[in-house]
Every structure is written in C-alpha cells, then in structure tokens.
Structure 1
Amino acid sequence: MTGRQLVLSSSADTEDAAVLGRDRLREQVRDDTAARTNVTLGYLLDEWLSGHEVEETTRASYRLLINGFIRPTLGATPLAQLCRRGPRPFEQLYAEFRACRRRCHGRSFVEHRTPRPHTCDQRCAAHVCKPLAVSSVRQCHAVLSGALSAAKRWGWIIVNPLDAAQRSRMPAPKPNPPSTTEAAKIANTAWAQDAEWGTFVWLTFITGAHLRNHPCEISLARSARVSTRELVEEDERAVSPARVQEHDLDGIRTPRASALTRWCRTWGNE
C-alpha cells in the first residue's frame, strides 16, 4: 500500500518455538497468505465505512457498534496479526459480548453516570452484567465481515479470517401481540380519552406503523386509501428520507373509518 518493505515478525519463549514460528512465517510468504499492509483494524473500519453505500441510519448504527464495541477491543490490532490468528479472536469477542457488553470478566466496579468529574449519587451503581443483544452481536459480525472482505478486495490481505468464523445464532422470535379483543379495548380507551389520540392508536393498529419512527403525515385519497409518511431522526436532524406507505381501507366501512375521514378533512383545513 505504501511501497515500503513489509517485515513479518513473531515471538517465542524457547528455541524450538522460535523455529516453529520461523517456519510458519516462511509458509505464509510461500503461500502468499500474509497481510500486505501494516494498517490496523480501526483504520480499515474507518476506510470501509466512509465509502460503504448504506442509508444514513444504517451508517449511524454501524458507527455506534464500531466506536462502542469493536474499536476498544480490536481497533489497534494490525491486520497481519488478525490474519495469523484466524477466526478465534472474533469468536471469542462475540462470546464475551454475549456474557457482558462491558466485557467485565467477572470484575466488580462502579458504573458512573458520566465520564466527567462529578459527585456520585444513586445513578452511580455497582456494575451488573448485561449481555449485548444477539442482533447487535450479529451486526458486529456483519460490520467486521464487510470490512475484511473489502480489505481482501483491495489487496490488503489475502485471506479473510471471518470466512471460517461462526456468527451467533438468532433466537427464535416469540411475538406476543395483543389479541383482537385487547386491541379493541386499547383503541376504545384511547378514543374515550381524546379523539386525536384514538385516531393515532387506531391507525397504528390497522397500518402497522413503526412506533420507533415518527408517523408525521396522514393523508386520505378518495376516502379509501391512507398514506403514512415516516421520518427517521437522530439528534433532532433527519438522517433518512421519509418513507411513504399506502394502505387500503376498503372493507373497513366502520364508524371509525368515517370518523377518520371527517377528522382528516377537518385537520387538513386547519
């Protein structure tokens, strides 16, 4: 990458181990499996993420995983060392995340509410192990796999150590949605509290809008189709184009649907 000569190195405690290490390095050179650059994994992640074509929301989540979990553990490790060690460091990292997201290894310490100088209060409590969600561990694997695949494509490494790694298994989903009777009670209670709140809850039930986003626009066309526009925000700024979904209301000829039509027309004129 820089035109400089690359020197492979290893360490050993005994002469016999040194001979084995020498033979292993010679084998890497002979088979052309040694890394062709001395850059670290952290540098590779920055280069890969800057040119990776994804939505800004996905980029933000990748950046959070990189800075919060991957970089503190393996960011300073050279690619050459990771290639020599194979998939073991990554599988071990995944196992540690599944045990504790802070990788405490059983140590006891106080989790402070802020890294800045402060006076401790009830928010500064003893550490309690909280595993990283399996979906987040799998996303870490996807980030690392994508970055190392790019390094192989760019000629920085010859072998991707994650090709032989096993990623965490996703547990079987266990959805527990409310029954139709429970959903009706929720909607009716919301309608009784406030007409606009009831409209929002009822519309969410029939359209399946994601509550983690912001259903920020409702429009009707010919009283038979409802459009919802969702805007994803981060730090009070839009990071993803609004997604528009349309849902047919045909067959939902209920007083609620008629009330929705009247409410939208009234709301649109205000």
Structure 2
Amino acid sequence: MTRAKAGRRRQRGTIDRLPSGALRVRVYGGQDPVSGKRNTLVEVIEPGPRQEARAEAARTRLLNAVDEQRSPRTSATLDQLLDRYLETLDVGATTHRAYTRYLELHVRPFLGRAKAGAVGAEALDSLYAELRRCRDHCSGSAKRVDHRTSRDHECDDRCRPHRCRPLAPATIRHIHFVLNGAYSRGVRWRWVSVNPVQFVSPPAKPPPDPQPPSAAEAARLLNEAWRDLDWGALIWLFMTTGARRGELCALRWSNVDLDSGTLTIRRAIVQDGRALQEKDTKTHQQRRLALDAETVEVLRDHRERCEERARALGVELRPEAFVFSLAPDGSASLVPGSVTQRYSRMAVRLGLDTHLHNLRHYSATELIAAGVDVRTVAGRLGHSGGGVTTLRVYAAWVSEADQRAASGLGSRMPERPAGPVSDIERVRREPRSARERLAVELLERVESGAVSVGGHLPAVKTLATQKGLAPSTVHRAFELLREWGVLVGAPRERPKVGAFPRPVDDVGAVATDDGAHRRQIESEVGPAESYFSVVVRGPDGSRYPARVVAGSLEHPGTFRAHLLGIARVEDPRNTDAGDSWVGQYEIAVVPIVGKAEPIVFRWG
C-alpha cells in the first residue's frame, strides 16, 4: 500500500521537450514576496549526449535550491539580519541614519518578514524593479493624491494627483551595498549559506555631472551674501577653500593663522537629530591650506567684527571660539543644515538652480582652470584619492604649489563691495515683500514733497483699502519708516513726517542737475577738488535734506560762508537775517569724492 501511494506521488518539477529538440526543466519556486507573482525556475537543456541525464540533474539542482530557500539554516528573518548588521556597522551618525531610513522605507515592507536564507536573487531583482517604478510604492491601480501635508488641511494647488517617480539610482546603489554588507556578515556568522546579493547587479553608477556656478553666478551669489558681512565671509571661504560644510562649521580661531596665511582643517560638525557632534573629517585626515591675501583680509575683517561684538557685551573671544557662530563669544557652532537652507533660499531668490555642495565643484573647477595640478586640488579639497600617502601628511601641502593654488583662485574671485549696504539702500534697490514695497512708495511721496515735514500719511485702513493689503502689512510698513527716521511721534500717537535727509546715489547726476550752483561755487573757490555731502542738524535733533557741494578746504573762509548759506536755506523756520542763529546748529560735511577726511563745522 505504501509503495502504491509512493508510486502515485506527484513528481516535483517537469521536463518538457521543445519543438527544437531541447528539454525545458521547470520547477515551482514559490511566490515572489515583492510582486506576489508565481515564481518558476526554468532551465533549458540543449540536444546532445546524455540529454535526459543532464535534464534530470538540472531538475534536482533546482529542487535543492528551492528547498534551501524554504528551509534555510536559520529561521532568522531579514529584519533580524539587518538589525544585527546595523548594530555592528561602523559609520558616521549621518550615514547610519540614512541607511536605517532607506531600509525602513524600501526594504523591510517587502522582504523584512521573509527568512533571510529564503530571499534569492530573483526577489532582489523584483525589489529593485519596484524601486525603479515608484519611490512611494503605490499600487498603480487606484487614483491617489499626493497631499502637501499629512495633517488635516484644505487642499490647494500643492495637492496634486500622484505621479510615480523612480528612486534615484544612487539611492538604489546605497540599498544594494547595505544588503550586500548584511548578507556578507550573515555568511560569516553562518546565518545563511550564500549571499544572494552578489548575483544581482545594482543600477549603473551615474556619470559624474558636476554643475558648479559660473563666474557670473558666483559673483551674484557673493554680492547677495555680502549684504550680511558674516554670511559673506562664510560663502567667500566656501569658494576659496572648497571645504566641506561641516568642516567650516567646526573651524575655530585657533585653526586660523592670519600672519602666515594658513588655515588648518581638523574637525567637522555633524547633526544627529537635533544634537550637534564634533568628529573627525570625512577622510579622518587633517589638512592645511594656504590662503591668498584677499581671503586673509576677509578673515581679518571678520575677526575684528567678532571681537567688537564680544567687547560690546563684555565677553571674551577665546582662541577656541568658532570662526562662524551666532553666539557673541563664539561658543556654539553653526548648524550645518541651517547653512544649507539659507544658501538654498538665497539661490532661489536670485533665480539660480544650485546648492551649497556645488561650491566645492566651483573651487575645483577654478583651480584646474588656473593651471593647478590635480594632485594639489585633491589635497586642498580633502579627497582621499590623488596621492593618499602625501595627503595624510597635511604639512606637506604648505608648499609652493599650494601657494600658487591659493593665489590663482584668489585672483579669480569677484571683487568685494567697498562697504556694507544700509538697510534703506537695500530696500530701495530691491524690495522683497509687500511691506517693503509700500514703505518705498511712501518714502518717495515724502521725498517728492507730496507730504510735507510735520504732515501725516494716509490712515492705515485707508492705505490697506487702496493697496489691497492687510492692515497688519501697513502697520509693519509704518514701523519700517520709523526705523528710517521718516516717521516720528509717540507710539500711541498718529505718526507724522519728520525731517529726512535725501540720499545721494549719483554725485555726477546731482551736480549736473544743479549746474548753476556749481558755476557759482567755482567762481568763488575755483575748480573743485572734492565733492561733499552736507547735512544740517537743527537744535531739536531734526535733519534737513542733504546737499551735494563742491569746494576746496584750502579756502575755509569762502567754504564756511557757503555752508552758512546752505544752513540758512535748508531751515524753513529760520527768519533771522544775521548769523547769531548758527550757534544752535551742527553742519556735517562728509567727503564723497576726493581724499579729504570727514569734518563737522560748529559755530557759536
């Protein structure tokens, strides 16, 4: 009875003869854990000697492979293997966090509960195909919407129909390398008998495509960054050194030698969640960079600003202080993520499609264009390739070649602005919000004489209705005018227009418009050697519109008489025909063309 039942037992696997004469061996391999499809192992045996025996051997081999997957050496799941591997993985906190996130989103949902030994090459190929199809792993059948947030909200144009986007090839390669490392350890630990990842090919490595900003784009970025001098110094150093983001955040004043013009990169700042940690550089190597003369001046000016802020608050700027810090004493470093976000916002504001890491590409490109050898470039950027032995000895890079590299890059940097741009000048040139645009419009009304000194601007509600703005926006525009000195008065009183000096942007244009005034001055004092901006300040602290005058301080008597005439004209309340009233006034004379020093005339 037993033998009869055994004879009627269904044979596992089939061997079929094809029309070509070949034999096709088919063995059921279970269900694909990713796609859910039936998995069949197929092998074709070409005609030849002992064809039937070779086909039977192939069927036996495929059956053993299926049995090995169904009954692996251990019952441990892939989740358990990955957990154990991540415990032993020695990488940085940021890298470890990225690997963990990749596995949580793209591997564990499909293969995590499967036995580690039961995952074969075909299952991994199906996983990679799914990652190339849609990074969100949608079902592909039902219509869905990608909402801008997971919280309760009113949908707008940012909530759009779902569109499948593949995972980036570089991310799939990272997942492949993590799985390969986990299975390699699993073979060593005897959890599995074979590493299936070695039979799977990851996506091809994308070709290098550095996109550094052009020289014109770099100049625009720097000009925008210099509106905040500390931020401008940081972006300047990114371009000239090519250092990594975390390396410049970890830079301390003890690592900067302005006398010899060198900078030593020893540590880096990494962000682990909300906590900041200081660690070795990415290549675990220190390097010393030579600085060009202009970069040394940038750091020297930045140091003076830091020391001035520290003295103003009664704290000390110690050598261990961070070079770039929001703390007055430099005790805390910048947050690397915040630096990247601020740079991205600045690039978007300028209409540029670039990110912070591209400044490393910019530095390398400019150095190579300047004729610096690749080995020296690799040393400055801290790449571990390009002469590893020499790169480990950081002192060797303070050499003639490195100095040529620093000088070559410094000569190609855009010029720094002559001085900081005031807030009012920045808003005049490029208002960025409705509040600033309204403030500029109201300022132009005052300067044109549409609203006289002591008068009132339209009411907040009236302006809000006329301009289609919220009352809070108008209030904020008024506060900006208060900061500029255009509006004066107690906080709870209706503000009135105070005396406000008219800015002079183009000396030539002003002088041309006032040609008769120039000819009068030249007839009194001769040809002009310097132009001066003259501001009259009254006894109540009010200032009257600035005037541009030409004159020579070699004739102080004639120049003084002319200044008195300006003061008398600029004060509309003055009715005294003599000069006794002048003792109550202060006349500031600031040179705007020429080499004369600023002076202040007082009479009394």
Matched with 2:214 is 179
Code of the residue aligned with 2:195 in structure 1: it is: N
- In the alignment, the residues of structure 2 paired with residue 178 and residue 78 of structure 1 have an alpha-carbon distance, to the nearest angstrom, of 49
SS of equivalent residue, structure 1 residue 176: coil
Do the aligned partners of residues 239 and 263 (structure 1) sit closer, same or farther apart at CA in structure 2, a change above 3 Å counting? closer
What SS is found at the alignment partner of 1:230?
Answer: strand
How large is the Cα RMSD of the aligned pairs?
Answer: 3.3
Distance 1:214 1:222 in 2: 16
- Listed as ranges, the matches of 1:17-56 within 5 Å are 17=12, 23=60, 27-28=64-65, 35-56=72-93
Distance apart, 1:125 and its partner CA: 3.8
Asked whether the 8 Å contact 1:101–1:129 carries over to 2, the reply is yes
SS at match of 2:279: coil
Structural mapping, 1:1-150, within 5 Å: 15-17=10-12, 23=60, 27-28=64-65, 35-82=72-119, 86-104=120-138, 106-107=140-141, 108-112=143-147, 118-119=152-153, 121-122=155-156, 124-150=159-185
- With over 3 angstroms needed to count, the CA separation of the structure-2 counterparts of 1:65 and 1:186, relative to structure 1, is same
Check the 8 A contact 2:136/2:164 in 1, yes or no: yes
- Over 3 Å counting, the alpha-carbon distance change for 1:16 and 1:111 in structure 2 is farther
Mapped to 1, the partners of 2:106 and 2:262 lie a distance apart of 44
Residue 235 of structure 1, aligned match among 262, 273, 278 = 273
Alpha-carbon distance in structure 2 between the residues aligned to 1:80 and 1:115: 37
Contact conserved, 1:57 with 1:240, CA < 8 A, in 2? no
User: Secondary structure, in 3 states, of the residue corresponding to 2:249?
Assistant: strand
TM-score, structure 2 as length reference: 0.37
> Are 1:216 and 1:231, in contact at CA under 8 Å, matched by a contact in 2?
yes
| Contact 1:209 1:215 survives alignment (8 Å) | no
From the superposition, tell whether residues 134 and 213 of structure 1 become closer, same or farther in structure 2 (CA, over 3 Å). farther
CA distance in 2, matches of 1:94, 1:32: 20
CA separation of 1:240 and 1:218: change in aligned 2, threshold 3 A: closer
Amino acid in structure 2 at the alignment position of 1:64: R
1:121 deviation in Å? 2.8
Q: Deviations over 1:41-94 (max 9, x none)?
A: 111101111122222222111111111111011111112321xxx312112211
Whether the aligned pair in 2 keeps the contact of 1:97 and 1:103 (CA below 8 Å) is yes
What secondary structure is seen at the aligned counterpart in 2 of 1:232? Answer: strand
Counterpart AA for 2:230 = E
Q: Comparing both chains, which one has the higher relative contact order based on Cα–Cα distances under 8 Å and sequence gaps of 6 or more?
A: 1
- The AA in structure 2 aligned to 1:221 is D
Distance 1:183 1:119 in 2: 40
**Contact in 2 for aligned 1:34/1:157 (Cα 8 Å):** no
8 Å contact kept, 2:270–2:279: yes
The Cα shift of 1:178 comes to: 1.8
Work out the CA distance in 1 between the residues paired with 2:131 and 2:160. Answer: 21
In 2, are the aligned partners of 1:213 and 1:232 still within 8 Å (CA)? no
Between 1:213-222 and 1:224-233, the stretch displaced more is 213-222
Provide the rounded CA distance (Å) in 2 between the counterparts of 1:263 and 1:36: 64
Conserved 8 A contact 2:68-2:118? no
Q: Is the 8 A contact 1:55 1:240 kept in 2?
A: no
Measure the CA separation in 1 of the matches of 2:68 and 2:106: 33
Tell me the equivalent position of 1:194.
228
Taking a change above 3 Å as real, the CA distance of residues 186 and 131 of structure 1, as seen in their structure-2 partners, is: same
Q: Which residue of 1 aligns with 2:296?
A: 257
User: After superposition, what is the alpha-carbon deviation per residue over 1:210-252, rounded to whole angstroms, capped at 9, x for unaligned?
Assistant: 34787243432143112455311132113562538655234x1
Give the aligned residue type for 1:98. R
CA distance 1:185–1:25, change in 2 (3 Å) = closer
- CA-to-aligned-CA distance 1:162-198 (integer Å, 9 cap, x gap): 111101111112212123343234324432x132122
SS at match of 1:158: coil
Amino acid aligned to 2:306 = W
The one-letter code of the counterpart of 1:56 is: A
1:208 to 237, 242, 245: 242
Aligned residues: percent identity? 32
- List runs of 5+ in structure 2 lacking aligned partners: 1-8, 15-26, 29-58, 311-604
Shift of 1:113: 5.3
Q: 1:178 to 1:156 in 2, by over 3 A?
A: same
The answer as to whether partners of 1:40 and 1:76 remain within 8 angstroms in 2 is yes
Write out per-residue CA displacement over residues 5-40 of structure 1, whole angstroms, 9 at most, x where no aligned residue: xxxxxxxxx934468569458635999996201111
Q: What is the distance in 2 between the residues matched to 1:159 and 1:181?
A: 55
Matched-pair contact (CA < 8 Å) for 2:134–2:167: yes
User: Shift of the alpha carbon at 1:259?
Assistant: 3.5
Q: Is the 8 A contact 1:110 1:127 kept in 2?
A: yes
What is the alpha-carbon distance in structure 2 between the residues aligned to residue 147 and residue 200 of structure 1?
40
Q: CA deviation at 1:207?
A: 1.5
Residues 34, 158 of structure 1: 8 Å contact kept: no
**2:99–2:178: 8 Å Cα contact kept in structure 1?**
yes
Query: Partner of 1:7 in structure 2?
Result: none
